[in-house]
Chains A and B, each alone.
Chain A
């Protein structure tokens, strides 16, 4: 197994540009990142999961079942929409939106929960658990659990339970039990810890659906594979609508699942720039942000090596973002690798910039975006005027903004 030191000694990976991209390796490493940094108690459940994932993602019958659900239940393929008015207003590149906001449950999260829940059923598990921050992944998990008749428990930090009341209610309507997590910072990272603890305790009947490309192997690869439908569709749709590939693909990065879902099918297209947008919160220089790739350093959290936000003693730091879905101190290990190798670029936009983009898209296109997705929109709005009118930027509109009405209203001094 390659250690981080081994990989760094070998230098930056030619693999990303020259040879076909084949990450992770057999042990779940993306270069020096990823892996399985977990207690022995988790090794067996992870091995069982990896075997099921490898088996069923090559099983035509499973893939047919998944595809049918994505079509008839989620509503795929989601459209790619040319935001002409917004493009004209910005006066540069043409902006295209991959409309994941139109999926059932209103975000890209369901692509993954459908996949993992079908896998859970194949494995004979009767109970699913999930962690959630904003509540979007929790809702998507509760939704598929309801549909498949599986018991569902969602772990959610106490702080998030209080600030995402509507989603908590949604999950309960769907029949899920929502457990308020009171440990640590009482946010998403602690919810993930608690879900892991549940999993080791109840592994016999329980499947843990992680909501992003984080966690130990095989989660980062598996969630990527379930989300890659975004990029596969969008690549074909761009060619169909514009006759060529986009110049830039762009997405917000919390844990990184909607971004990797869009990026992955474009990795071999080296002429396509990939830009991930993190949450700069109050600003990177204030320390109040959620931008590990832009302002963190490599370390180990939640079973994988990646960039994270930590203090001088290696304790994980509290994060801040206006969007609960980006409020996470780590990031998927594949993004760490794409950053170091230079294949993708990562930037960060502040709460204020994201809010401005939220209003901008709403007013010019009649589409209310999620605050998470608004981070990608804000970066696109900065980049577009610097490009030519015959160039294009494809942005992942990862979710719709209905869940953010209260947050945005509060910014405007209103109480809904």
Chain B
């Protein structure tokens, strides 16, 4: 059983919803990313999504774009990101880590080389934003051959046929994009999300995480009522940016930790646990 599966099963047994923070690897610095990962686990993160910087992030809004640019300005590469995961694993062998990125840097490294290096670094899964189930079957095979999970996005516009196509290839969990738009987009309509999750659950047995548009404890709690995982990205990355710009990078782990604590508390207070399976 994969580390991701193990984690979700335990959460389900405990009746808890997962909290999944997303940060861009290398923002504001690779060393800080490692420290943040540990701090986020201490604050109640159940799984970590690590963004791999890419020069042309078409699915990302301005906040994550700028994080990407800060990381790229320091030359952070896919290999560097795997290096961060490897160091994280030296002291944490339980928290699953999923890479979220775009295809081109992976292909340049080589599909098989990437999959092997990722497993060896202790990575658990990948969400490759611009690879739909129709494309890149050799990469999919290479990743699966290493026993890693492949996480896919689902959108408000995904119809039953697409949900079924994704059900065929996805493992670990699926990531429901709660709004039409890019990361960091505005408001999410919880009733719409809830209705869509029913459609998804009728076709996919995996846990369903909900992200894009979770800004604070209140939205996290709302989402926790209907989702198996609450995914929060831009709200974290935005805080990182503000502090880095104010020359207060040293405070980032504390501020991020406190913010996640808040989300964790709000989620746990409303929790009715995972509903998948």
Q: Could you list which residues of chain A lie within 8 angstroms of chain B, going by C-beta atoms?
A: 1, 3-5, 27, 35-41, 43-45, 183-185, 189-190, 193, 196-197, 200-204, 299-303, 308, 310, 312-316
Which among B3-11, B153-161, B248-256 touches the partner chain?
A: B153-161
**Are B56 and A313 in contact, with the CB atoms below 8 A?**
no
Question: CA separation between A1 and B158, bound complex, in Å?
Answer: 20
CB distance A41 to B130 under 8 Å? no
| Residues of chain B with a CB closer than 8 A to A189's CB | 56
Whether a CB of chain A sits under 8 angstroms from the CB of B136 is yes
A43 cross-chain contacts in B, Cβ below 8 A: 132, 155, 157-158, 162
Q: Are A37 and B132 in contact (CB under 8 A)?
A: yes
Contact in complex: A36, B61 (CB < 8 Å):
no
- Cβ of B87 < 8 Å from any Cβ of A? no
In the complex, chain A residues whose CB is within 8 Å of the CB of B57 = 193
The one of B108, B138, B182 in contact with A200, judged by C-beta atoms closer than 8 angstroms, is: B182
**Contacts A40-B153, A40-B158, A189-B56 given; does A35 touch B134 at CB 8 Å:** yes
Provide the residues of chain B in CB contact with A310, threshold 8 Å: 104, 108
Asked whether, in the complex, the Cβ of B181 is within 8 Å of the Cβ of A44, the reply is no
Is B78 a contact of A314 with CB atoms below 8 Å?
A: yes
Q: How many Å lie between the Cα of A35 and that of B58 in the bound state?
A: 16
CB contacts under 8 Å to A, within B55-89, are: 55-62, 65-66, 69, 72, 77-79
Most-contacted residue by chain A among B69, B105, B132, B181 (CB, 10 A): B132
Apart from A197-B58, A197-B60, what are 10 other A-B pairs with CB-CB below 8 Å? A1-B137, A3-B137, A27-B134, A44-B159, A184-B55, A184-B56, A197-B181, A200-B181, A299-B108, A310-B108
B65, B138, B157, B181 pick with most chain A CB within 10 angstroms: B157
- Is A315 a contact of B180 with CB atoms below 8 Å? no
**In whole Å, how far is A287's beta carbon from the nearest beta carbon of chain B?**
16
The reply to whether B158 and A193 contact each other, CB–CB distance below 8 Å, is no
Asked whether, in the complex, the Cβ of B162 is within 8 Å of the Cβ of A201, the reply is: no
B173 at the interface (CB under 8 A from A): no
Would A302 and B181 count as touching, CB distance under 8 A? no
Task: Return the contact of B108 from the options A40, A204, A312 (Cβ within 8 A).
Answer: A312
When distances are taken between beta carbons in the complex, the residues of chain B under 8 Å from A313 are: 77-79, 105, 108
Residue pair B182, A36 in contact (C-beta under 8 Å): no
Q: Assuming the A-B contacts A1-B135, A41-B155, are A300 and B78 also in contact, with contact meaning beta carbons closer than 8 angstroms in the complex?
A: no
Query: In whole angstroms, how far apart are the Cα atoms of A313 and B76 in the complex?
Result: 9
With A3-B136, A3-B137 known as contacts, the answer to whether A314 contacts B56 (CB < 8 A) is: no
Verify B135–A35 contact, CB threshold 8 A: yes
* Contacts of B129-153 to chain A: CB distance below 8 A: 129-132, 134-138, 152-153
Interface residues of B (CB under 8 A from A): 53-62, 65-66, 69, 72, 77-79, 102-109, 129-132, 134-138, 152-155, 157-159, 162, 166, 177, 180-182, 185
A40, B177: Cβ atoms closer than 8 Å: yes
- Give the contacting residue for B180; candidates A27, A41, A184, A190; CB below 8 A: A41
Bound together, the chains give a CA A189 to CA B77 distance in angstroms of 20
Chain B interface SS verdict (over half)? loop
Q: How far is the CB of B58 from chain A (nearest CB, A)?
A: 5
The minimal Cβ–Cβ distance linking A8 to chain B, given in whole angstroms, is: 11
CA distance A196 to B60 in the complex (A): 10
Specify which chain A residues have a CB less than 8 angstroms from the CB of B152 in the assembled complex: 40
A196-B107 in contact given A36-B135, A315-B72 (Cβ < 8 Å): no
Q: Which residues of chain A are near B137, meaning CB under 8 Å? A: 1, 3
How many Å lie between the Cα of A310 and that of B185 in the bound state?
Answer: 29
- CB neighbours (8 Å) of A190 from chain B are 56
Closest to B212 in A: A41
Q: Which residues of A contact B129 (CB under 8 A)?
A: 39
User: Which B residues are in CB contact (< 8 Å) with A27?
Assistant: 134
Beyond A35-B135, A37-B130, A313-B78, whether A193 also contacts B62 by CB under 8 A is no
Residues in B whose Cβ lies below 8 Å from that of A4: 138
A40 to B132, CA, bound (A): 7
How many whole Å from B85's CB to the nearest CB in chain A?
Answer: 17
Given A37-B131, A41-B155, A316-B55: A197 and B104 interface contact (C-beta under 8 Å): no
Which B residues are in CB contact (< 8 Å) with A1? 134-135, 137
* B54 and A315 within 8 A (CB): yes
Between A and B, 12 residue pairs with Cβ closer than 8 Å are A1-B137, A35-B134, A37-B136, A38-B132, A41-B155, A193-B57, A200-B182, A201-B181, A203-B157, A299-B104, A301-B56, A313-B79
Most buried by A among B102, B106, B182: B182
- Which A residues are CB-close (under 8 A) to B181? 41, 197, 200-201
| Minimum CB distance partner of B105 in chain A | A314
